[in-house]
Amino acid sequence: MHSSMQASPTPVRDDVPLRRIDHVRMFVGNARQSAYFYRNAFGFDVIAYAGLETRHRHEAGYVLRQGQITFVLVSPLSGQHPESRRLIEHGDGVQDIAFEVENVQHTFDETVRRGAVPVTQPTLLEDDTGVYEYATIRTYGDTTHTFLNRDRYRGVFAPGFLPLDADRYSPGTFRPAGLKAIDHVVGNVEEGKMDYWVDFYKQVLGFNQLVHFDDKDISTEYSALMSKVVQSGTGRIKFPINEPAKSKRRSQIEEYLQFHGGPGVQHIAMATGNIIETVKAMRHNDVSFLRVPRTYYDMLPSRVGPIKEKIEDLAELGILVDRDEEGYLLQIFTKPVADRPTLFFEIIQRHGSRSFGKGNFKALFEAIEHEQERRGTL
Ligand code: FE2
């Protein structure tokens, strides 16, 4: 029996239930060629295509899949495409983070009632394999969130997309990377706007706030940022949000905001069950990662204590380690994947830890600043 003194646990109310991140849509200058990059360097399979051949008149799209991760790469087919200005303003980058939901109409109505700005009203698309429903709202910058449901859809991705011709790509000469799922997606917003967007995710999407770093935790001589993390009711979706903090010279967040032309997605972290094999494969496939100084690994045993992996293997590949009360994590960051110093990727393997690698920020920022110095943007 419970004593009457004991508080009963408050049930978590999830008024905007999101099942999962369904896909990330990237708007790029040349989707056909970007698909080669994500396939041959990151190890994605190209599973579906939409374009002129599938009666898509205004854009070409490629659906890429690895584990539970889906990227959709889209390019406009003319200047008449309503989003074509994105390419000049932002360069290649993330346009939309799409959630799978139970009920598109309800989710859209509820988020709009809570203050979301609508982009696309609930829309039903149909082809001979079923019905696909979606609606879209705005988030930071020109980034959007789509709510979609394909419970009654049996096609490969969405109406308009067809399975890729088997002969479109030859069997890969690249090594599979073993990426499993999206761990978190990080947004960069303007100075002073972090709390606004944290509140947006709390109020509009019913997220909770996780941990909080401030600029005392995260600063080097030049770069400083503030970061807060929001997560969905189930904890399955995690969005850290960064803003620049005052520093002597231009921080990496300011550099991003300048080259991206405002707020947007800074990095996507993808989880693997074996980061050593993943990074070996990706390096073989020619992915460039940020490197920290060798001295990082001299300090490692005393900083993180015993870990399963061999320090020599981690040092050889440049993989970073951090520990918190719950366990440890291994992580590594790619260099920006397009010409502008904007979007990059993180590979992460968690051993119990649910944090984001705060202990690595100083070493990482020094590595990023070294790159900024080479770009003349420090
Ligand atoms: Fe991250």
Cα of 112 vs centre of ligand 1, distance in Å, is: 29
Asked if residue 120 and residue 79 are part of one domain, the reply reads yes
Confidence class of residue 95 from pLDDT cuts 50, 70 and 90? very high
pLDDT per residue as tens digits for the range 195-212: 999 999 999 999 999 866
Judged against a pLDDT cut of 60, whether residue 344 lies above it is answered with yes
Asked if residue 233 and residue 113 are part of one domain, the reply reads no
Judged against a pLDDT cut of 60, whether residue 9 lies above it is answered with no
The whole-number average pLDDT for the span 28-55 is: 94
Q: Which amino acid is at 230?
A: V
Cα of 188 vs centre of ligand 1, distance in Å, is: 12
Cα of 315 vs centre of ligand 1, distance in Å, is: 20
Cα of 332 vs centre of ligand 1, distance in Å, is: 9
CB 239 within 8 A of CB 187: yes
Question: Is 302 inside any structural domain?
Answer: yes
Cα of 267 vs centre of ligand 1, distance in Å, is: 7
Question: Is 4 inside any structural domain?
Answer: no
Total tally of structural domains belonging to the chain: 2
Its pTM stands at 0.92
Cα dihedral angle (16, 18, 23, 26), rounded to 10 degrees? 20
Cα of 268 vs centre of ligand 1, distance in Å, is: 7
Percentage of the chain lying above the pLDDT 70 cut: 90
pLDDT per residue as tens digits for the range 319-336: 999 999 999 999 999 999
Cα of 239 vs centre of ligand 1, distance in Å, is: 9
Asked if residue 210 and residue 123 are part of one domain, the reply reads no
The whole-number average pLDDT for the span 340-369 is: 90
Cα of 29 vs centre of ligand 1, distance in Å, is: 25
Judged against a pLDDT cut of 60, whether residue 12 lies above it is answered with no
Cα of 108 vs centre of ligand 1, distance in Å, is: 28
Cα of 162 vs centre of ligand 1, distance in Å, is: 33
The whole-number average pLDDT for the span 15-39 is: 95
Question: Is 172 inside any structural domain?
Answer: no
- Sorted by sequence, the CB contacts under 8 Å of residue 94 that are 6+ apart come out as 24, 25, 26, 27, 143, 185, 264, 265, 268, 343
DSSP state of 336: P
Here the CATH number for the domain that contains residue 185 is 3.10.180.10
Residue whose entry in the numeric block shows the structure tokens 């939901």? 101
What is the C-alpha to C-alpha distance for residues 98 and 135, in angstroms, rounded to an integer?
10
Q: What is the mean pLDDT of the chain?
A: 90
Asked if residue 319 and residue 261 are part of one domain, the reply reads yes
Question: Residue 292 is part of which domain span?
Answer: 179-375
Percentage of the chain lying above the pLDDT 90 cut: 73
pLDDT per residue as tens digits for the range 96-111: 999 999 999 999 999 9
CB 262 within 8 A of CB 183: no
Asked if residue 149 and residue 295 are part of one domain, the reply reads no
